[in-house]
Structure formats: C-alpha cells, structure tokens
Amino acid sequence: MATVKFTAMKDGDREDYEFLTAHEIDYAARTGDRLLDALVQLDEGLSGYKITRLGHSLQAATRAWKDGADTDWIVSALLHDIGDIYAPYNHDEYAATILKPFVREQCTWVVEKHGDFQRLYYAHHLGGNRHARDRFAGHLYFDDCDQFCERWDQSSFDPDYETLPVGFFRPFVLEVFARKAYDPAVIRAGERVALTNPDIAKTRTGA
Ligand SMILES: [Fe+2]
Ligand SMILES: [Fe+2]
C-alpha cells in the first residue's frame, strides 16, 4: 500500500492507521536534519546586525561549547532563534516547543523566556520595559536564563568571533532529536545543570 484507502479520517481502518504510524516514525527520525536545514535558512533572514541569524546561532552554540556546556545546552543555544523564520512575534515560544520533548525542562524554560530576558539589553533604548523578566523573579531557572542571555545570546553578534560550522554541531542535534520524546530521564524536571563547566571547557579549548 502506497497511501491509505480513506479520504476522510473517520473511514480509516486499522491497516490504514498502522501504515501511517510507520510513516510518522520514519519521518520523525529525520527531525534533526530538517532542523539543521531550517537553521541554514536563517542565513537569509532579515538582519541589520553585523552577522546573520545563522551566524548568531552558531556563535551562541560555539560559546556554549567553549564554556563546557552539556549537549542540551549546546543544542538549545544553537536553536534558540529558529522561530525567527515563522514566528517573529513569539520566536522564543516556537523554539521552546520544538525542543520541549527532547531536552531538559530547564533548557526549554530558558529558551521559552529568553525573549523577555533579552529586553534587559535594549528595551530602554526604545522606551520599553527592560525589566520584563522581573515577572519571573524567584523562578527556579531565572538565573540560568540570565546567564544564557548574558554569556551566549546578547554577546553573539561579533563578526570577528571564531565560530564553529554547522557540521560541527550536527552530531549534537541528531543525538538530541533521536531521544525518546518526553522521556522523564531526559526532561529531568526541576533539575538544574550549570551552563558552564570549567574542567570540560579546558579539555575543549586547551586553555
Ligand atoms: Fe531570540
Ligand atoms: Fe538570539
């Protein structure tokens, strides 16, 4: 069977739905590569900064890697602005939705809120509220989002920074999106992992 037999879902039978499930599993397995393709599309996105959105994403991920961050953090840094293509007004939530089944709860929260935290660096120049993040004061992951923005996001617009290429990060992305969705061992609800690990950073950078 190359397609299902039905034209309206209510007429489908077990054979149809088992056939579709097999297709969906196969399709889901290629999510990592589709996301990497989307990331490359960010290179054509609206800018005005000294580097493209792809360059910014790679720079954020490179900084995370050099800080000794773990895989969840690196992939979160790499994909945190992937929503810019289709969701310019809630790009943070869009990226968090993509990551949510596959990374630690901590990382999903940070990516989801990073838009509000980033306002600290620019909103006052436009007459806006740079302290929008204060509504999350006292949250378990508040300091992590503060660090994420300070170390990896707001700092990653430097055209002279030595940024690692997309191919370097592909294995990290494929590993994350090959995980079992919503596995409690991956989500690790309530657990905090530091963004930086000086020992690992040393082995990666030789510094
Ligand atoms: Fe962003
Ligand atoms: Fe960003």
Q: How far is 85 from 93, CA to CA, in rounded Å?
A: 13
User: For 143-165, how does the pLDDT look when each residue is reduced to its tens digit (9 = 90+)?
Assistant: 999 999 999 999 999 999 999 99
Distance CA 72, CA 176 (A): 7
Total residue count of the chain as it appears in this document: 207
Are the beta carbons of 55 and 30 closer than 8 angstroms? no
Strand ranges in the chain using DSSP code E only, listed in sequence order? none
- CB 110 within 8 Å of CB 145: yes
Number of neighbouring beta carbons within 10 Å of residue 126: 8
Query: pTM score, two decimals?
Result: 0.95
- Distance (Å, whole) CA 194 – CA 69: 8
Between the CA of 115 and the centroid of ligand 1 the distance, in Å, is 5
| Ligand at shortest distance from the CA of 153 | 2
Ligand 2 center from residue 76 Cα (angstroms): 11
Structurally, at CATH architecture level, domain 11-205 sits in Orthogonal Bundle (1.10)
The tens digit of pLDDT for each residue in 72-108 reads: 999 999 999 999 988 999 999 999 999 999 999 999 9
Residue type, 96: A
